[in-house]
Amino acid sequence: MANTMRKIVILHTDHPAEWTGPYGTFDELAIKLLQDTKPADSTHEYGYEVYDAYGGALPSLDYILSHEDYCGVLITGSRYDSFDTETRWIVELRKFVRRLLTATAAPPLVGICFGHQIAAHALGARVGRNPLGFEGGVSRVTLTALGRSLFHRESLDLSMLHTDAVFDTPQGTANWGASPLCAIQGLYTPGRLLTFQGHPEFPTELAQRGCEHKGHVTGAAAASSAGNDGFGAAADGIWALLEPPAERKISQ
């Protein structure tokens, strides 16, 4: 039987940046992550609908909720502040995310960096400048018991590029890991939400470029010798939310 088509919404929350160079824009990086790591035993084909959230474009949540072929929403990273209360597109995005996360039978949400912070803020958490400063390059995230069950290992090495942080774990969510510079590295709600303070879609070379762009040469140098689980265990965790293993083909 032919694989069925499903749709993933990508909310692009930035505009093109020169420093990402040949790696593409944040929405393109997110799509590449998903395309390159799609489970071999998947029972579906996937299409990607990109919305320019930075430009004020958001999908109709009512339409998404009324069509079963939508299986997920992903919010990209951004250079902007998730806690901004005056910029209209950020305020409207938080409202959309709040509705998505509280709606019945809504598709799950994946949040990356800014997307992680937007989701946390929408659920009532405090978000702001990290008093411990910039985290960039590749960081080792020590996993909680939940994180170990999600990613099937003791720690994750993930690309980072952020100066903001989430300070609370919203009700109904759980934190899955921490690094020395950031105590809440991601949030999880079964079947509904998985977020990353890091950038699983960034290959190590792009994490280095991000550090150099921010003027943190030390972080760029450290990244060059680090492993990276973005396209490995982290992506597997994302796909486990978007297409749970129980939906996939039984191996012959």
> What's the pLDDT tens digit per position in 104-118?
999 999 999 999 999
- Residue of 12, 201, 211, 243 with catalytic role: 201
- For the question of residue 45 being annotated catalytic, the response is no
Which two structure tokens, joined as six digits, stand for 226?
Answer: 């680090």
252 confidence band (pLDDT: 50, 70, 90): very low
φ/ψ of 93, rounded to 5, equals: -65, -45
| Catalytic residue list contains 199 | yes
Q: State residue 223's pLDDT score.
A: 55
Catalytic residue among 113, 121, 211, 216: 113
Question: In this structure, are residues 210 and 204 in contact, taking their beta carbons and an 8 Å threshold?
Answer: no
Instruction: Kindly provide the b/e burial profile for residues 230-243, where b requires at least 16 CB atoms within 10 angstroms of the residue's own CB.
Output: bbbbbbbbbbebbb
pLDDT at 248: 82
How many C-beta atoms lie closer than 10 Å to residue 51's C-beta? Answer: 19
The Cβ-side half-sphere exposure at 191, using a 13 Å CA radius, reads: 6
Q: What is the pLDDT of residue 220?
A: 54
Give the Cα separation of 99 and 120 in Å (integer). 13
What is the structure's pLDDT at 80? 97
**Exposure of 52 by Cβ count < 10 A (0-12 exposed, 13-18 middle, 19+ buried)?**
middle
Q: Supply 200's token pair.
A: 């699983």
Using a pLDDT cut of 70, give the percent of the chain over it: 94
Domains in the chain (CATH in brackets) are: 4-130+164-197+230-247 (3.40.50.880)
> Which pLDDT band, with edges at 50, 70 and 90, does 238 fall under?
very high
Instruction: Write the pLDDT tens digit of every residue in 119-169.
Output: 999 999 999 999 999 999 999 999 999 999 999 999 999 999 999 999 999
Q: Which of 199, 211, 216, 243 is catalytic?
A: 199
- Write down the number of H helices and E strands in the chain: 8, 12
Q: What is the pLDDT of residues 1-50, one digit of tens each?
A: 457 899 999 999 999 888 998 999 999 999 999 999 999 999 999 999 99
Q: Tell me: the pLDDT tens digits for 53-90?
A: 999 999 999 999 999 999 999 999 999 999 999 999 99
12 has catalytic annotation: no
What pLDDT was estimated at residue 216? 78
Check if the beta carbon of residue 201 is closer than 8 Å to that of residue 123.
no
